[in-house]
Chains A and B, each alone.
Chain A
């Protein structure tokens, strides 16, 4: 060491990044990192608080907070946008998409995880390409197709278009879960005389419940938030919450902003319930790590 009068704190105590809880060190980069994180979280909370407060405002003032509070905008918003119908549509579409997606994605994921066969790379390509092509690129012709099938403005049409990104996504989530199951368990079941169907229903099914839950919840979150595809296909009778929220926010001048924000709060609560469910069932870091391992 050269003759530095006051070496930085981290050099005087050369702690190694060992396992377990690391000691808190006060470094410039650390301060910047955590500061940035807090700016992000703070901005987010303030933005959400803005929406929440606006939806409860009786009258706007020039001050920081509104002059009075009321919940009547929720009733009005419920009536104007027919929120009950919107919620029912959103939930219905979500459940239908998740059910079909899991039924189709599980067998595909099983084959991808277990078998090597000619054309496997092609199948992988078919599953990866929808993740990297812009949604609009296939949404426009797909919406035209749905229109020609006379499925536009119907629940079936919305479910159909939402399945297109959902199925490959669910396959990608499920493959690592299938890979984790020891193939010898299946072989043992087959030796004992189980048929294909029984292997799936009695052996793989129960073992795959965590994977199915993870894929199902993640698909549901994506469907509820899916905007572009649903927007192109839905009509006035078959909107989901996001699409209606966008429609209201675009024509903001014609509606009271409290009404729009009341709908936004309803949407937010719906997604937060889903997020809580997701966090109970899925460890997000584990999904990211597994996802990466499978991609190598």
Chain B
């Protein structure tokens, strides 16, 4: 055994102290091997450039000009630069992100459910659906602004066919931003849901069919409960994506009015050099987002968490 160290020659075997473990061996027994040094670069980087800024930000938010919590007081009392209501923006951001992620999951589940097996042109559909994800929020938002605008093609078509008399107001308000967020977020939700739906054993559905369940029953009584945990995860990740985004809110929406989102407020404060209030807005954002995620994941704990594969064949 190398564990005895360099002194552990054959002649020392009679002496019990030769077997005494050094701190090195004890560490090794608990799993602390020298290979662990491999994580050092990653861990050091993440601590210096993620954990430290995070703590620094929280500290900064407490150093407002008027005492400990003055930055937060300013935030909740709507006393910020160019302020159009920072307190209300919490609700606005929440509504936008919740609506977008609910729509995303609701649209992604049926399509993903139908894509679970081998479907014609699956790869093409996947590729087309992936396009908006790669284009990113800025491009989609600027494209939507023209497409949904009063003289865009959508309104033109609606006017032409006589569906509406007046152009629909889709830009500069909640609807436009929501549409833009759905276009960027849906591909991601879809991709995740395809992973979940194809993870469900088809023999479970077959068994239900043999027992006489109709397609709707098969879906609602068998597949849907098994999909719920995956749906909550998809919901959470869609929510994260929609909650922090501000290009769509500024470009398609109206950041001085009905779609002033928290991240835009944080940015405006930052660009005016008011770091404490900017950090306060950013911290409020994090707290709200983590509260929603915590709530959803707590709800997920109450759901079925069994295997998605059948038992014996």
Residues of chain A at the chain B interface (Cβ within 8 Å): 10-11, 14, 16-22, 27, 29-30, 32-34, 36-37, 40-41, 43-44, 46-48, 50-51, 54, 62, 64, 103-105, 107-108, 110-112, 114-118, 123, 126-127, 129-145, 160-161, 163-164, 167-168, 171, 196, 221, 224-225, 227-228, 231-232, 242, 245-246, 249-250, 257, 260-261, 264, 267-268, 271-272, 274-275, 278-279, 284-285, 288-289, 291-292, 295
Contact = CB atoms under 8 A, between A and B. Distances in A.
A111 B36 CA distance: 7
Contacts of B144: 47
Contacts of B290: 132-133
B117 A130 contact: no
A137 B280 CA distance: 9
A161 B192 CA distance: 27
A34 to B, nearest CB: 8
A126 B202 CA distance: 37
A91 to B, nearest CB: 16
Given A271-B135, A272-B134, A288 B279 contact: no
Interface stretch (B4-12, B76-84, B239-247): B239-247
B230 to A, nearest CB: 7
Contact of B107 (A30, A40, A110, A129): A40
Interface of B: 30-33, 35-36, 38-39, 41-43, 45-47, 49-54, 56-57, 60, 107, 110-111, 113-114, 117-120, 125-132, 134-147, 151-154, 156, 183, 186, 191-192, 194-196, 198-199, 202, 205-206, 209-210, 214-216, 230, 233, 236, 240, 243-247, 250-251, 262-263, 266-267, 270, 275, 278-279, 281-283, 285-286, 289-290, 293
Contact of A36 (B110, B125, B127, B145): B110
A249 B53 contact: no
Contacts of B56: 141, 144-145
A115 to B, nearest CB: 6
Contacts of B141: 249
B126 A284 contact: yes
A18 B183 CA distance: 33
Contacts of B113: 33
